[in-house]
Homo-oligomer: A and B are copies of this chain.
Amino acid sequence: MLTKDQYYMQQALEEAQKAAALGEVPIGAVIVYNDEIIARAHNLRETTQNALTHAESMAIQQACEKIGSWRLEETTLYVTLEPCPMCAGAILQSRVPRVVYGARDIKAGCVDSLYRLLNDPRFNHECEVTEGVLADECGQILTDFFRALRERKKQEKLFRQQQQKK
């Protein structure tokens, strides 16, 4: 039996899988309002070639459109990976009151790892943060993706070397 947080994180993971299927780094997000998913998105940076198309940022834009306001009060944002500075900033700008994330991003995470941007009283908004929901699954999908990418690059290199020898 899944908790409510696990259920919604599972939905975010489904979004991450859609990204993986496109060859995108598999990160997914959903936004919940009144126990309903009002926005869902996955990383599309390579597909769109637009630096802003991270899962969280796109979900926030969708939710603003749905609610008709830049203030996403009473919402919860679920994301499989700890947000980067841009997405943490977008969360502050849209006043999302609660953020739940899966795996930590030790290289660029700005919620707990490098900075704690969502809990800085100097900003005009702070979030309640829950980390580690389905963390293993959220981390594993990334590990699998990068392992397959390295393997593909290795195979491509071997193929090129063989072609040059011919």
Contact check, B51 vs A90: say whether CB atoms are below 8 A apart.
Answer: yes
Across-interface contacts of A60 in B (CB, < 8 A): 51-52
Across-interface contacts of A84 in B (CB, < 8 A): 89, 92-93
Contact check, B124 vs A93: say whether CB atoms are below 8 A apart.
Answer: no
Interface residue ranges of A109-148 to B (CB < 8 Å): 110, 114-115, 117, 120, 122-124
Supposing A70-B45, A85-B85, A117-B85 touch, asked if A52 and B123 sit within 8 A by C-beta, the answer is: no
Across-interface contacts of A86 in B (CB, < 8 A): 86, 88-90, 92-93
**Which range contains the number of A residues in contact with the other chain?**
35 or more
Across-interface contacts of A87 in B (CB, < 8 A): 89
Across-interface contacts of A110 in B (CB, < 8 A): 85, 89
Contact check, A65 vs B50: say whether CB atoms are below 8 A apart.
Answer: yes
Across-interface contacts of A89 in B (CB, < 8 A): 84-90, 110
- A155 interface hit (Cβ, 8 Å): no
Across-interface contacts of A90 in B (CB, < 8 A): 51-52, 86, 89
- Closest chain-B Cβ to A120's Cβ sits at a distance in Å of 7
Across-interface contacts of A6 in B (CB, < 8 A): none
**What residues make up the interface of A, taking CB atoms closer than 8 Å to B?**
45-46, 48-54, 57, 60-61, 64-65, 68-72, 84-90, 92-95, 107-108, 110, 114-115, 117, 120, 122-124
